[in-house]
Amino acid sequence: MASRKICSWLLFMIITQTLAEDTRSVQMSLMINSKFECANTTCLPFINVFTLNIRNCQVACLAQSQCNAATFYRSTSNCELFADMLNQNGNMLVDVDTISMNVISGTRLPSKQATTSTSATSSSTSTVTSSTTTTTTTSTTTSITSSSSTTTTTSTTTSSSSTTTTTSTTSSSSSTTTSTTASTTTTTTTATTTTSSSSTTTLKSSTTLSPSTTAIPRWTITGNLNTARTTHIASTLANGSVLVAGGANGAGSLNSAEFYNPSTGTWTITGIMNAQRYYHTASTLANGLLLVAGGYSGSNLNGAELYNSSTSTWTFTGSMNIARFLHVASTLANGSVLVAGGQGINSFLNSAELYNPSIRTWTITANMSIARIYHTASTLANGLVLVVGGLGITSNPLTSAELYDPSTGTWTTTGNMNVGRGYQTASVLANGKVLVAGGYNSIGGYLNTAELY
């Protein structure tokens, strides 16, 4: 009877563990010098983060339940996380700058949380690392285990090259998961395979600037942020301090916020947001409050919150009608905030909505003519909002631009840019023109072109 009880208890634990772990695998297979060929939105990365190294890119992927694959760009440290890869693995593009990785399904390990709750089974943390070999490229299998006591080794197999140098580095990183889960220590062993091609080392000699008669403006190091972060927001508060909030780093998405005091050059931690978020927007309202809206943290967020700098606290306000990230936000002359576009649950959005600070609610307004992400919005002197470029639903760079008229609540298409671009900047000049600069498109790559509206 007792053993039966234990058996059913174990079965229960196994089932709950399986449920808990179903979304998290422990292994990723590497495809060196390859990236996924992406033909439509279903295979676009759901997020781009910058990670220190490929290991942190893997951790970033494994920390997100829906992440199935990732691509790390060596030159830019860009880490693209993919949710649904379908059969993209059959369509790999050669790119010496990239390493792509797939989460290997079917091999699960108890997470630390599950291990501590089931001490009877905690010793079963062992990894079977199978090394897969593809026909043409070097294939490396990297194991990530979340048990603090287990160090996972990595086997590296090189199929064709005769000279193989294998370097193994072991490092630990602490990743704190959301408040409902315990802190997890991830030990990763990454094996790097160098094929027979010789590596050249370029020695950099420091060059002395030629003497100049005019002083060159310099950048000066100022105080460090308390938390390393990217894809956060920054807003200048009424008293001159600069508030940053949210974002992400190698450990995941952040709810922390801190402000910079220009007179002391230091950052001070302030109240934490109610939600972790990155790829959100921030808008300063006429009443002095700061509105942050949407963003991403494991899923698209529709929540919005207000920061009151006199109390240093965040309060949820009305939620957007549509959860979105990578949208744009513009403050209108009458005090309302317009958000437009961004990434929705399954698609890029053409939808737009208005936040009315006096009643603290969001109302759907007219759709843009085109769904977009990585676009820009500029409020013009005449009160219209100019939305420009970005990536369209097939990840195509957009030349299109459109104007929102707050008095009619409608969008009108306006002249196209000369070059389709996403990830660009847009700045309203003193003469009223809008300067659009740089960005990226799939044809021209990283752009140095600029144009005026």
Ligand X SMILES: *[C@@H]1O[C@H](CO)[C@@H](O)[C@H](O)[C@H]1NC(C)=O
Residues that bind ligand X (CB under 6 A): 39-40, 42-43, 86-87, 237, 239-241, 261, 263, 287-289, 308-312, 332, 334-336, 350-351, 354, 356, 358, 364, 366-367, 406, 409
What is the closest distance, in whole angstroms, from the C-beta atom of residue 238 to ligand X in the complex?
8
Q: Which residues on adjacent β-strands are paired with residue 258?
A: 244, 269
Of 230 and 308, nearer to ligand X (C-beta) is: 308
Measured from the CB of residue 386, what is the shortest distance to ligand X in angstroms? 16
What is the closest distance, in whole angstroms, from the C-beta atom of residue 240 to ligand X in the complex? Answer: 5
Backbone angles phi, psi at 332, to 5 degrees: -85, 165
Q: Which lies closer to ligand X via its Cβ, residue 409 or residue 438?
A: 409
Residue 194 phi, psi dihedral angles, 5° rounding:
-110, 125
Tell me, letter by letter, the H, E, C secondary structure of 417-432: CCCCCECCEEEECCCC
Closest approach, Cβ 318 to ligand X, in A, equals 13
Cβ at position 308, least distance to ligand X in Å: 4
* Tokens found for residue 124: 């079963």
Residue whose CB is less far from ligand X, 42 or 77: 42
* 8 A C-beta contact, residue 372 and residue 387: yes
Give the whole-angstrom CA distance, residue 143 versus residue 130: 9
Q: What is the DSSP string of 344-370?
A: -SSSB---EEEEETTTTEEEEEPPPSS
- CB-nearer residue toward ligand X: 60 or 70: 70
Q: Which is nearer to ligand X, 267 or 278 (CB)?
A: 267
Rounded least distance, CB 271 to ligand X, Å: 10
Compute the C-alpha angle 387/390/395, nearest 5°. 145
Give the end-to-end CA distance of the chain in Å, rounded to a whole number.
80
Q: How far is the CB of 311 from ligand X (least distance, A)?
A: 5
Cβ partners under 8 Å of residue 407, min gap 6: 383
Identify which of residues 289 and 419 has a Cβ nearer to ligand X in the complex: 289
Query: Count of CB atoms within 10 A of residue 120's CB?
Result: 10
For the beta sheet containing 425-428, the strands, ordered from the edge strand earlier in sequence to the opposite edge, are 425-428, 434-437, 450-452
How many distinct helices (H) and strands (E) make up the chain? 3, 32
The CB-of-158 to ligand X minimum distance in angstroms stands at 30
Q: What is the Cα–Cα distance from 121 to 142, expressed in whole angstroms?
A: 24
User: Which residue's CB is nearer to ligand X, number 69 or number 419?
Assistant: 69
Q: How far is the CB of 251 from ligand X (least distance, A)?
A: 26
Tokens of 245: 């909030």
Residue number, 88 or 152, with CB nearest to ligand X: 88
Cβ-count burial of 215 within 10 angstroms (0-12 exposed, 13-18 middle, 19+ buried)? exposed
User: Least distance in Å: CB of 221 to ligand X?
Assistant: 19
Question: How far apart, in whole angstroms, are the C-alpha atoms of residue 78 and residue 21?
Answer: 27
Q: Closest by alpha carbon to 100, among 70, 79, 63, 78?
A: 70
C-alpha 38: how far from chain center: 18
Closest to ligand X by CB, 183 vs 239, is: 239
Contacts of 300 (CB under 8 A, 6+ apart): 294, 323, 324, 325, 343, 344, 345
Nearer to ligand X, 54 or 349 (CB): 349
Cα–Cα distance between 168 and 209 in angstroms, integer? Answer: 40
As measured in angstroms, the least distance from the Cβ of 344 to ligand X is: 10
d(CA 96, CA 13): 45
Q: Which is nearer to ligand X, 397 or 406 (CB)?
A: 406
